[in-house]
Structure 1
């Protein structure tokens, strides 16, 4: 029973911290236009590819800061409910294999059910995000030559950090 109480207290603390993290006292600019991130789209009746592209993507040399709150639940605030926060369709944070160091300059490749392909660069703090309108489920991979790492299963929730988390390390998407 004590373990259950401690778990509930920890979850409550995390939820309170996530809500507090939604405030942006710095007045940061909006993220890039989502249409700039769309590489290609198949007709709506087309069958999406079975896997993310196999060719690796070279390191992105110039990336932004990623703004704030790496590893947190991006869509907790970027869902249309928080004043001033742009609405994201997908967001998350990627880390190097140590699970601590932000993965900067890699590319998250996402293909939605309509065949839309996004290349989302990981920012200086490891964050990646998009405002593009997407159709679930999604196929995704992280890429930086010479390596690609494809997610094992397709997913429907655009908040990557909601699943890629643990008690000790929230929101950990790691890449070799």
Structure 2
């Protein structure tokens, strides 16, 4: 059953196709993402750290359509050239403005996503992560995002690179490298950096 919001969004999308209108700002953001990494198959492991919902949202409608998606890294890198370490098995717990909750875990590329069909939350969202503490069996640490996710379901809509005036940086488990360290990404992961 289609909700009034879904009907309106579908109607506006259909109208934009008929009129040939697009969203130039969104089109430019998608273009800036660049080409696919030829070493990573398109799927749940591709494009870590990029704004998932730009393509997998109502505008471009790449399958699957997502309500929320992102990537979780271990800790900030020291330089822009250093690749951040993705963390597998991080639980991402989201709560929408009506108190409905959804939980999902990251894969070996650090990626997670929620298909819109499974959960279509009412923004703003409260977000928290729970990650496995390196070197401590069955021990986890919980981190709660201090602000709310207002409307963009892509974590990388705000969280890009290392912290700057324009971004709080990637979503990290820890503020610095831990001892013992987080385990390296498995070379057999389809999203592993080559």
Shorter chain as normaliser: what TM range?
A: 0.5 to 0.7
1:78/1:85 contact within 8 Å kept:
yes
User: Which residue of 2 is the match for residue 138 of structure 1?
Assistant: 125
CA distance in structure 2 between the aligned counterparts of 1:152 and 1:98, rounded to whole angstroms: 18
User: Gaps spanning 5+ residues in structure 1: where?
Assistant: 1-12, 29-65
Using the TM superposition, give the Cα deviation of residue 172 of structure 1 relative to its aligned residue in structure 2, in angstroms: 1.2
**TM-score (structure 1 length as normaliser):** 0.61
1:105 & 1:167 partners in 2: Cα distance?
22
Q: Deviations over 1:118-165 (max 9, x none)?
A: 111011101111021100111111102431010001122211111011
RMSD: 3.2
Q: CA 1:134 to 1:76, structure 2 compared with 1: closer, same or farther past 3 Å?
A: same
In structure 2, the residue matched to 1:151 is 145
Unaligned runs of 5+ in 2: 1-27, 78-83, 132-138, 175-194
Higher relative contact order (CA 8 A, sep 6+): 1
Larger Rg computed on CA atoms: 2
**Contact 2:76–2:162, Cα closer than 8 Å, also in 1:** no
**Preserved contact between residue 92 and residue 160 of structure 1 (Cα < 8 Å):** yes
1:164 maps to which of 155, 159, 168: 159
Which 4+ stretches in 1 moved above 3 angstroms? 19-22, 25-28, 80-84, 166-171
Write out per-residue CA displacement over residues 86-117 of structure 1, whole angstroms, 9 at most, x where no aligned residue: 11101111000144110110101100112111
Which has the larger displacement, 77-86 or 93-102? 77-86
Distance 2:128 2:163 in 1: 24
- Aligned equivalents of 2:140, 2:42: Cα separation in 1: 37
- Of 51, 54, 75, 1:76 maps to 54
Equivalent pairs, count: 127
Matched residue, 1:50:
none
Equivalence for 1:18 = 33
Q: Normalising to structure 2: TM-score of the pair?
A: 0.56
